[in-house]
Amino acid sequence: MKIKVHGKDLTVSQDMVERIAYKLSFLDKYILIDDETTAQVIVKKHGNNIKLEVTVPTKVGYLRSEVIDKDIRNAIDDSIDKLEDQLRRQKTRLSRRHKEKLAKNFISEDVEEEKTVPVRVKRVPVEEMDVEEAIMQMELLDHSFFIFKDYSSGVISVVYKREEGGYGVIEAV
């Protein structure tokens, strides 16, 4: 795994970069990470404190933590604890949820569009996958919807959780 450490409004010493790399090496124990996977670490000032942001893209979703602390060593340790907790939760979700059960709950339904002013714009990469895998990704991220490109039809789609239970899909035409 590659690690990129960026410092904003401060310089990060080589010792800190090595400490971060050593602490992040625990990921190899929990999940398979390609050699091409790049962990992004941003260290910046936050008032009198230091804010540490860690983002690791994996095959089962993104691992992300933000920690604010006075000492960078404590921030690194707390961040690693958060990432480890996320890995445990994802492993539990995968073991509890089976793809067959998710497919049975799947229902396609039209949804009315609500007109609201966007508060924030976020760009996300759209990956090609089947509906069951998109539902699994949505559950792993603990989101209420997930955008993907349907493998069978090649259409941009959104899978979402329904209030009545089950799942729905919106396909772009």
Torsion from C-alpha of 11, 13, 18, 19, nearest 10 degrees = -90
One-letter amino acid for residue 108 of the chain? S
Q: How large is the C-alpha radius of gyration of the chain? A: 19
Q: Is the pLDDT of residue 49 over 70?
A: yes
CATH no. of 99-111+124-171? 3.30.505.50
Would you place residue 108 in the very low, low, confident or very high pLDDT band (cuts 50, 70, 90)? very low
pTM: 0.55
One-letter amino acid for residue 166 of the chain? G
pLDDT at 97: 59
pLDDT at 96: 65
For the chain, the domains span 2-96, 99-111+124-171
Would you place residue 94 in the very low, low, confident or very high pLDDT band (cuts 50, 70, 90)? low
Q: Which CATH superfamily is domain 2-96 in?
A: Ribosome hibernation promotion factor-like (3.30.160.100)
pLDDT at 124: 83
